[in-house]
Amino acid sequence: MKHETRKALGKLACGAVLALLAGAAMAQSASADGEIRKLDADASRVVIKHGEWKGMHMGAMTMAFKVRPASLLDGLKVADKVKFSIEKEGADFIVTAISPATQASPLVLASTHISGDKK
């Protein structure tokens, strides 16, 4: 094999390894619905019972999360139903967005009003 070919293949292999490492270092993220079981705003932590996260290959369970920033917890309380987003950073799951879940979607309410059905 010619020197130039080996050199080009070496650069290509290095680029592929760097791309794989960069992908592995990126944070994974997911969104889910859940119910707050415990809040500790002073420690920036929340315990949420959540549904399955298909993107993270994780089943439904109750678990503790760090929250960043802690002000995301303002106005929330135990037993609130919430929608939240997390990012995985190393071994930690960080809540990066959280808000109260709505009782019924606007689409369901609109179709009930139009058809007269009460669901």
pLDDT, the chain, mean: 76
For residue 105, is pLDDT > 80?
no
Query: Does any domain span residue 113?
Result: no
- Residues whose CB falls within 8 Å of the CB of residue 7, separated by 6 or more in sequence, listed in order: none
Confidence band for 50, pLDDT divided at 50, 70 and 90: very high
In the chain, DSSP assigns E strands to: 28-40, 45-50, 61-67, 81-89, 92-100
Note whether residue 56 is domain-resident: yes
Does some domain include residue 58?
A: yes
pLDDT score at 106: 42
- Whole-number Å distance between alpha carbons of 106 and 31: 20
Instruction: Residue 101: give the domain boundaries.
Output: 28-106
Residue 102: pLDDT band by 50, 70, 90 thresholds?
confident
**Band of pLDDT at residue 29, cut at 50, 70 and 90:** confident
In a domain, 23, yes or no: no
d(CA 47, CA 38): 5
User: What is the reported pLDDT for 1?
Assistant: 57
- Report if residue 78 sits inside a domain: yes
Please check the confidence at residue 80 and state whether its pLDDT lies above 80.
yes
Q: State the pLDDT confidence band at 57, using cuts at 50, 70 and 90.
A: confident
Whether 73 maps to a domain, the answer reads yes
Q: Residue 102's domain is classified under what CATH number?
A: 2.40.50.320
User: Percent of the chain, pLDDT > 90?
Assistant: 45
What single letter denotes the amino acid at residue 111? S
Residue 51 lies inside a defined structural domain of this protein: yes
Residue 13 inside a domain? The answer is no
Provide the number of structural domains found in the chain. Answer: 1
